[in-house]
Structure 1
Amino acid sequence: MRSRKGWGLSKTILDEAAAQIAAGRFSAALAATDPLLSRPDAIPRTFALHAAALKGLGRRGEAAEVDREAVRRFPQSRIAWHNLGATLGDLGRATEAIAALETAFRLGLDAPETWLVQGRALVAAGRLDEGEAALGQALRRRPAELAWSAELANLVWMRRGDLSEALAVLAAAERAGAPGARVRMAQADLMRAAGQHQQAWALLRAAADQAPGDGPLGLAASQAAMALGLAAEAETLARRAYALAPGEPAVLNQLCIVALAQGRPSEALEAALSGLKRAPANQSLWGWAAVAARQAGDPLHATLCDHDGLVRIYDLPTPEGWNDMAGFLGDLDRALSAQHLYVREPTNQSVRQGSQISHLLTGSDDPAIQAAFRQFAPAIDAYVQALGPGADPLRSRNTGAHQIHGAWSVLLGPGGSHSNHLHMEGWISSVFYVATPRVIEGSARHEGWLSFGEPPIALDPPCPPERFVEPRPGRLVLFPSYMWHGVIPFSTDGRRLTMAFDVTPA
């Protein structure tokens, strides 16, 4: 029989662990819950908090094992099955996630969060009609949840390319009580994806004028102005945001951009470095600091943008189980192409005239996709080992241990490209070429090639690419996540199919 004293102590520990997780102190929560897992009077919440702490530390695989033990110990716990499904979904193991969540539903769970993670898993499994319906069910239960509405609107946009239908999803959220200012920001994202940059700017400018004390809204309006080259308007809005939150890294990042756009690189560099004091791993601030240093003639640029030393090319060998690379790439092409089910690119991404698979590909059970990640591992190890220690923003994070943080695929058709961008969530980023149009091989104009060093705004003096890499099937390219990179548009027939992933320190 459970001791009342023991139960009271466990409850206190679990409450404290929950508070630690809420505060981001995941290691403390992990240490607190670990001794409780083996106790005979452990409850489902013990396992849920331990798994949440592991996920907070980026140890999602271990969290899944804890969630599996929870459903073994408590097979009638609806929440335990939900937690297992959510963790499996985070790992990209969509089919397993769907099965776990269906068990939660059979046990009587009808929470909006469960419909949400089920919708995401169904989408990742390619069951788009069912996934869209499940996301709709989540919103019927919580109609004012704007983040979920934006997710459904993005899915509608990618599936059908219908801007009006996607915007209607956001309008429904606003009618249900979602904050109007945040709805405008989500609407503007969709408009930009549809090429309606002027309309997005007008929408955000009007909203920002109506709510001058809303810093995030003003910052979004500044970014929309900058996308149209309206640097003076962008600076006015950025300075308004700065007055509201002078130490906010995102605001300092925008001040750096507008100063660069108006020919003040030293001021831009100062803003970026100020932001980095608050957020030393912020990849966007490092990327813009590199541009500002280049324009100002500061030696920091050479440190950050050693394109010869930090951009590394690996032409990978044929994986075990295949006779040649062509056969392997053909199987990989078929596995990835089967998942490219969208007609438009996602919002707030760099893809132009193409589609992107955004769920975590490391969770795939396809043999070719699994083999690809096995082939990537030695190259990643070699890159990290070659970096060694150092004080720069890449080497200073090098613990020697690493993990894949995100993994996706992009399919570009004729005219396709990537706008110049960087990877905010990464440390080391990548591209692996599965298929490329033949005509881009050796292209004098670098059509379809990977370019490095050019920011996404026009500057005076110009800031053109500093290095190009020719895409070849079977080639993996690794580089720092803060480096600006893009794909030169190609106009010929053919497909450009890639895999990509980010690596973070472990």
Structure 2
Amino acid sequence: MRDEELEAMDNATISGLLNQAAAALKGANPALALQLTDQIIASRADVGPAHYLRGAAKAMLGDGAAAEAAFRQALKLAPDIIPARIALAKLLDQSGRSRDAVRLVGEHPGAPVPDLLFLSAEIRLRFGEFEAAESDCERLISIAPADSRARVLRGRVYIDSHKYAQAEEILTDAAEKAPNSPTAFFYLARARTQQGKTRAAREALKKAAALRPNAPSILQEQARAAYSDGDTEAALGFLEHAIEIEPRNPNLHRDLSQIRFMKGDDDHLRSFREVLANAPYDIGILSVYAGAARAGKDPQTALPQLDAAINAGVDHAYLWDARAQIHIMLDNISQGVADTDRAGTAPGIDHSTHLNRCSAYLSANLPEKALPLAEDLVQAAPLDQLALAYRLTAMCALDDPAAEEFINPDILTNQQAIDCPDGFDSLEDFNTALKARLLELHGAEREPIDQSLRGGTQTELFPLLEDDPLIRQLADMLLTNVRRFADGLPRQDGHPFLGAIPEKFEFSGIWTVCLRDGGHHASHVHPEGWLSSAYYVSLPASARNSNSGEGALNIGRPPMKALNEKLPGRLVPPREGYLTLFPSYLWHGTEPFHSEEPRITVAFDIAPRR
């Protein structure tokens, strides 16, 4: 375009170029869109839509910084350009600045806009800000009552805050108002699954699958519902079909491996090997494969594929970290430390990888390398119980006297009998009824692949809290004891436990464990809790002897063999009808026991109510 044409560019010409740029973007031609918008801006720099379309073109070309600058200029010139505000908010969210994204949405100067409210609610839900997310949903429903997205999102808020009955109610309404929405039926199924209504969940998923055939996410949910319903073969079939459609989805392979493992399949990792035959350097598949191999006690299986990728020049923190963990597990300590060091400087390093590096250094008896790394992790995430555990372990290994205030058993650990629920003559009668009910729930053939459990089974109790009277009574009694314990704790600013005592709290998880002869828990912590626990429903005779140590809870012994002699932990003998409470950042496991009778417990984590 000649200079005189630029000077003479009028609104009609600008409008025509904007339409051409929009069409170019729709046709996936960002280079042409950029050329057209640059022509407009060279003549008239005050045209907000031109800056917006320029930002969209830059985003498609992968230039996030330039896209952000263009979107901001568009909003500076014309704050009411809603697509620019949405695009910038999404860009901020994707780049890890989600709080800024929510703030930007809230700065919209005009009347509430459904798309902006929906985006704000989604981000807030992801951060666990349930009240704020629900408020956005209510506003969205009020201004767009026919928009089913708000009801579905509100149902998701209830699911994530464990209000499953309320979630089912609003998602049923959403599905009735939008019978062609697979998303509504998908989340309705999830709400039902969490309440133990697996048959009804599977019916909802059939409708979702009919509306969106061959969607891997729906097939994966169908597999989970089928497995919860005891239909293992159907669960395997759904996952195998999903993998045919999306073979490089690592989460599908992880779920398939877990179900095969729990079914007793010794070759539970074969789907990973099959996909790696065609995509040998897929970082996501390789890292999840390595994790599944470690969890299945077969770590060396994944080493050849990791070695091949690294030797081929694939440089990513996940691969170095995965190989480091396997070498540490196989007692190849020097190689594990070398790989851990390399992971710290490789592309893709993140918080979880740094946590694994802490574990590796402690496993190699290098607390002096673990401590500064753990300190940085705690500073970045003060309530991350795993980071706190690594810091405390390093402090203890280095004989730091300051560690004592984070362990003090006289204050931080408590064991007390629960109150006898109404309707029972004694706590013993209640536990007898509870034992019978819990044994009905333990139908798996072996322990979950990714848990601390060894030689037993584990079953979630969250789905039963609302509809099972006996489980509800137990939960109420447990919460009463937690409240009593929390109210008696001293407050201490800056302390990771005493400085974080919640005024209101809730279960962040609750489950039952049935251990068999020789069964035990490997030492572990619960990263998302504040308070962890063990309630003893039924103990074998060998574990009732407080002097035997069998079946006892060990608090404080880390899972790193190199530190076990220096940090042996302390034993807390189990007692039927008693609840043991302790901070979630303390390592805890159990001693094996030997008996034909099972050891049945209920465990839970407590977190601040969100």
Q: Distance in 1 between matches of 2:239 and 2:473?
A: 32
User: Aligned letter for 2:515?
Assistant: L
User: Aligned letter for 2:225?
Assistant: A
Q: CA deviation at 1:454?
A: 0.6
Q: CA deviation at 1:361?
A: 4.6
Distance 1:196 1:433, change over 3 A: same
Q: 1:449 aligns with which of 534, 537, 552?
A: 552
Equivalent residue number for residue 295 of structure 1 = 397
Distance 1:155 1:235, change over 3 A: same
User: Aligned letter for 1:184?
Assistant: L
Find out whether 1:273 has 2:370 as its counterpart.
no
User: Aligned letter for 2:527?
Assistant: M
Q: CA deviation at 1:488?
A: 0.8
Q: Distance in 1 between matches of 2:402 and 2:332?
A: 28
Q: CA deviation at 1:141?
A: 4.0
* 8 Å CA contact 2:414, 2:580 repeated in 1: yes
Deviations 1:170-198 (A, max 9, x none): 33444676964433333334433443344
Equivalent residue number for residue 424 of structure 1 = 527
Equivalent residue number for residue 3 of structure 1 = none
Q: Distance in 1 between matches of 2:418 and 2:129?
A: 40
Q: Distance in 1 between matches of 2:557 and 2:302?
A: 25
Distance 1:323 1:285, change over 3 A: same
| Secondary structure in structure 2 of the residue aligned to 1:483 | coil
Find out whether 1:191 has 2:314 as its counterpart.
no
Q: Distance in 2 between matches of 1:450 and 1:431?
A: 9
Equivalent residue number for residue 480 of structure 1 = 583
* 8 Å CA contact 1:163, 1:194 repeated in 2: no
Distance 1:433 1:76, change over 3 A: same
Q: Distance in 2 between matches of 1:211 and 1:59?
A: 48
| Secondary structure in structure 2 of the residue aligned to 1:408 | strand
Q: Distance in 1 between matches of 2:564 and 2:126?
A: 47
* 8 Å CA contact 1:420, 1:484 repeated in 2: yes
Equivalent residue number for residue 149 of structure 1 = 253
Find out whether 1:131 has 2:235 as its counterpart.
yes
Equivalent residue number for residue 146 of structure 2 = 42
Q: Distance in 1 between matches of 2:491 and 2:177?
A: 45
Equivalent residue number for residue 171 of structure 1 = 273
Q: 1:87 aligns with which of 191, 202, 210?
A: 191
Task: Give 5+ residue unaligned stretches, structure 1.
Answer: 1-5
Equivalent residue number for residue 338 of structure 1 = 440
Distance 1:197 1:409, change over 3 A: same
Distance 1:284 1:91, change over 3 A: farther
* 8 Å CA contact 1:421, 1:456 repeated in 2: yes
Find out whether 1:407 has 2:510 as its counterpart.
yes
Find out whether 1:357 has 2:421 as its counterpart.
no
Q: CA deviation at 1:368?
A: 2.5
* 8 Å CA contact 1:93, 1:363 repeated in 2: no
Find out whether 1:396 has 2:499 as its counterpart.
yes
Task: Give 5+ residue unaligned stretches, structure 2.
Answer: 1-109
Q: CA deviation at 1:464?
A: 3.7
* 8 Å CA contact 2:155, 2:167 repeated in 1: yes
Aligned-pair RMSD on alpha carbons?
A: 3.3
Q: Distance in 2 between matches of 1:454 and 1:279?
A: 23
Q: TM-score, normalised by structure 2?
A: 0.73
Q: TM-score, normalised by structure 1?
A: 0.87
Which region of structure 1 is more displaced relative to structure 2, 27-36 or 349-358? 27-36
Find out whether 1:469 has 2:572 as its counterpart.
yes
* 8 Å CA contact 1:318, 1:325 repeated in 2: yes
Q: CA deviation at 1:421?
A: 0.9
- Which of the two has higher C-alpha Rg? 2
Deviations 1:279-327 (A, max 9, x none): 2222111111111111222233112112232121122233223333333
Deviations 1:64-96 (A, max 9, x none): 443233235445644322221123334555354
Distance 1:173 1:361, change over 3 A: farther
* 8 Å CA contact 1:36, 1:42 repeated in 2: no
Q: 1:119 aligns with which of 220, 223, 239?
A: 223
Q: Distance in 1 between matches of 2:211 and 2:349?
A: 48
Distance 1:226 1:440, change over 3 A: same
Equivalent residue number for residue 98 of structure 1 = 202
